[in-house]
Amino acid sequence: MVGKRVALALGSGGARGYAHIGAIDVLTERGYEVVAVAGSSMGALVGGLHAAGKLAAYTDWVTTLNQRDVLRLLDVSLNGAGVMRLERVLARMTDYLDGVMIEDLPIPYTAVATDLGARREVWFTSGPLETAIRASIAIPAMITPIMVNGRLLVDGGVLNPVPMEPVMGVDADFTMAINLSGEKNHHVGSSPMRESAAQRPPHEWLDRFRRSAAGVWENDFITSILSRFSRSDEATDHPLYDPPPAGLSIADVTWMSLDAMESLITRYRLAALPPDVLVTVAGDSIKTMDFHRAAEQVELGRALTEAALDDAFGDEAVGDEVPQDLPALT
């Protein structure tokens, strides 16, 4: 039997973080009490709004946004330390939070950011909630970092994509983590691959590319690459290597690099500190910046959380004992 007090760790992953909203909705509907929440990036945003009692109002807003609305809100800047300043988004968040302090929240809360100078995590457990969230969501190269007390702060997911540590000592019946960097449609190994730098004819590697690219790139992007090299079996564009595919932007490379890094870090950190219940959202469920697709991601979070709780607890009634080995949905 299991009790209803849950300590929640919410992961980073851009727009995929809307799945956290669906997960919290399911916990509420089933009568679970969130007694602590820690988050990185979008996990810090959604977790902070929940702790402040403002998540419902925020959800009502984001689920109405279309792609044009999102582009207006992102406040793009071609100069500075990030492509987006997010001033318009932050103005809306300020309206919701109204100066609330972390230490005054009814739920213990931790926002995780990364101090680039010290190369270490920063856990915000007091002070203005808005500042803590802003520090935690500063995706490197994309969202402008901020300075707090002499620290240059960026996204918490750089070092801790799913922050289990802040909730491990909480008096809860079980811990639950939501990972937004799950794998789908392709196998990701942890060991290095030995490869020759010599160019080989396309027929030797096209099938491998097709398998490895599935779930990482969009289908039309994969198709364009396959058609480009399938036309000829001769040497490619450069005598030593091929240029990147046409249409690949700096943002694409940044997102893919960060996703690869966060996926590996998450696997290692969750192996060291596994939650009792793990909800895994596929890293390719939507793109990192698809903030106009909130409604469908909320529903995905609901479905995955319901399945994870059913898998872990089934029809168990509320009780005082906590299961020792709870399965995870992966």
- Return the active site residues: 41, 155
* Non-local CB neighbours of 200 within 8 Å, separated by 6+ positions: none
- Residue 46: DSSP 8-state: H
**Other C-beta atoms lying within 10 Å of the C-beta of residue 11:** 32
> What does the DSSP 8-state code read for residue 235?
-
CA torsion sign for 222, 225, 228, 229 is negative
Q: With contact defined as beta carbons under 8 Å apart, do 48 and 111 qualify?
A: yes
Distance CA 324, CA 330 (A): 19
Burial string for 157-189 (b: 16+ CB within 10 Å, else e) reads bbbbbbbbbbbeebebbbbbbbbbbbbeeeeee
Residues with Cβ < 8 Å from 14, sequence gap 6 or more? 41, 42, 139, 180, 255, 287, 288, 289, 290, 291
* Residue 157 to residue 202: CA distance in whole angstroms: 36
| Contact indicator for 191, 23 with CB cutoff of 8 Å | no
Q: Are 106 and 51 in contact (CB under 8 A)?
A: yes
**Which strand (E) or helix (H) includes residue 13?**
none
Tokens 């990972």, located at residue: 179
Neighbours of 110 (CB within 10 A): 25
